[in-house]
Copies of this chain bind each other. A is one copy, B any other.
Amino acid sequence: MPFTVDFEPVGRRVRVEEGQTILEAARGMDLFGDGGMVAPCGGKGLCGRCRVRVPEGLLSPVTESEKRLLKKEELAAGYRLACQAAVLGPVKVELPAESLTGRQELQLEGTDITVVPDPNIRRHRLELQATTINYPRPVWQQVERSLREDYGLPEVRVDGDLIRLTPSLAEEGVATVTVRGREVVNIFFTGAPTAPLGLAVDLGTTKVAGFLVDLERGATLAGEGILNPQIAYGEDVMSRLAYVMEGAENYRRITQVIRDGLNRLLHTLAAKAGVLLQAVEEAVIVGNTAMHHLLLGLPVEQLARAPYVPAATVPVEVKARELGLDMAPGAVVYLMPPIAGFVGGDHVAMILGSRIDEAGPVTLGLDIGTNTEIVLARGGEMISCSCASGPAFEGAHIQQGMRAVDGAISQVRLSGAGMQVFWETIGGKPPLGICGSGVLDAVAELYREGVINDNGRLDRSHPRVRLAGEKGIAEYLLVPAAESGAGHDLVITQKDINEIQLAKAAIASGTKLLLQEAGLKEDDIEQVVVAGAFGTHLQLSSALAIGMFPGLPPERFRQVGNAAGTGARLALLSLSERRRAEDVARRVKYLELTAAPAFNDTFLSELIFPPLVAEQNNAGSFAQVRGI
Contact = CB atoms under 8 A, between A and B. Distances in A.
A133 B311 contact: no
B299 A168 contact: yes
A168 B309 contact: yes
Interface string A588-599: 001010110000
B310 A138 contact: yes
Nearest to A595: B133
Contacts of A136: 307-309, 340-341, 590, 592
Contacts of A582: 155
A613 interface: no
A158 B595 contact: no
Most chain B CB within a 10 A radius of its CB, from A164, A307, A308, A595? A307
Give 5 closest A-B pairs by Cβ, nearest first.
A140-B312, A168-B311, A141-B313, A133-B307, A138-B309
A113 interface: no
Contact of A317 (B134, B157, B315, B594): B157
Contact of A157 (B158, B314, B595): B314
A435 B176 CA distance: 52
A595 B169 CA distance: 18
B133 A308 contact: yes
A313 B140 contact: yes
Contact of A138 (B141, B312, B590): B312
Q: How large is the interface on A (under 10, 10 to 19, 20 to 34, 35 or more residues)?
A: 35 or more
A297 interface: yes
Given A141-B312, A163-B311, A318-B160, A169 B302 contact: yes
Given A132-B307, A140-B311, A302 B595 contact: no
A138 to B, nearest CB: 4
A294 to B, nearest CB: 13
A306 interface: yes
Interface in A223-242: none
Interface in A147-175: 155-158, 160, 163-164, 167-169
Contacts of A403: none
A155 B583 CA distance: 10
A131 interface: yes
A144 interface: yes
Contacts of A276: none
A294 B281 CA distance: 28
Interface in A303-335: 306-318
A467 interface: no
Contacts of A590: 136
Contacts of A579: 155
Given A134-B595, A340-B136, A169 B317 contact: no
Contacts of A169: 302, 307, 309
A308 B144 CA distance: 19
B314 A131 contact: no
Given A138-B311, A169-B302, 7 more contacts: A133-B306, A138-B312, A140-B311, A144-B313, A144-B314, A157-B316, A160-B296
Interface string A206-250: 000000000000000000000000000000000000000000000
Contacts of A168: 299, 301-302, 309-312
Nearest to A317: B157
B163 A307 contact: no
Contacts of A158: 312, 314, 316
A359 interface: no
A137 interface: yes
A133 B310 contact: no
B133 A314 contact: no
A520 interface: no
